[in-house]
Amino acid sequence: MNEEYFDEVNVNNDVMGPRTRTEIHRLALRHRAAHILVYNQRGQLFLQKRAPGKECFPNTWDASVSGHVQSGESYLDCAQREAQEELGLVPTEPLEKLFEVDACPETGMEFLWVYRTHSEGPFMLQADEISDGQWFATDHVALWMRERPQDFAGAMPLIWNLLYPPE
């Protein structure tokens, strides 16, 4: 398998230069990722369960789509590419950018751009990345996240609390 290259970025999210995926993760360097939250007409959110072989946060529930921004790639291009790779989804509307999350240990030192889109599925899950995927009511996710935050990939509680601030 060919090594992937990501851009190492500084604390201000300025590109420092390309590094291999292995270097980025081994040295815990800041880099970039994009996440998409996919909702259906009933307002349910599709969550993916990360495959057991994933390097970071295996066997945890995550955003509908999540992936690394390749060296030289934009956040939006990454989000669209990952949607097609992970779910077989080509959004029929422009992705709505919700917000950014700064790099921190919970995100795996990734600066994240979080997008939203709508789809009814069905999806074709990328088996080496995703072991399961299901629709969930947002109130169910909120309760689940409060009771068992360890079930979620590190960035998901941060994303959730920005999207649905605790009362």
pLDDT tens-digit readout, 62-100: 999 999 999 999 999 999 999 999 999 998 899 999 999
pLDDT value of residue 92:
87
56 in Cβ contact with 41 (< 8 Å): no
Query: What pLDDT does residue 37 have?
Result: 98
22-58 per-position pLDDT tens digit: 999 999 999 999 999 999 999 999 999 999 999 889 9
Residues 113-163 pLDDT 10s: 999 999 999 999 999 999 999 999 999 999 999 999 999 999 999 999 999
Strand partners, 15: 9
pLDDT per residue as tens digits for the range 5-15: 999 999 999 99
Whether 1 shows a pLDDT value over 80: the answer reads no
- Is the CB of residue 66 less than 8 Å from the CB of residue 107? no
With 0-12 CB in 10 A as exposed, 13-18 as middle and 19+ as buried, what is 1? Answer: exposed
Domain residue spans of the chain: 5-163
Q: Which helix (H) or strand (E) holds 84?
A: helix 75-87
Q: What's the sign of the alpha-carbon dihedral 100, 58, 152, 93?
A: positive
Q: In degrees, to the nearest 5, what angle opens at C-alpha 65 toward C-alphas 62 and 67?
A: 95
Check residues 91 and 167 and name the one with the higher pLDDT: 91
- The dotted CATH code for 5-163 is 3.90.79.10
pLDDT in tens, 136-147: 999 999 999 999
Question: Helix-strand-coil percent breakdown of the chain, rounded to 5?
Answer: 25, 35, 40
pLDDT digits (tens, 9 = 90+) for 98-115: 999 999 999 999 999 999
Determine phi and psi for 3, rounding to 5 degrees: -70, 135
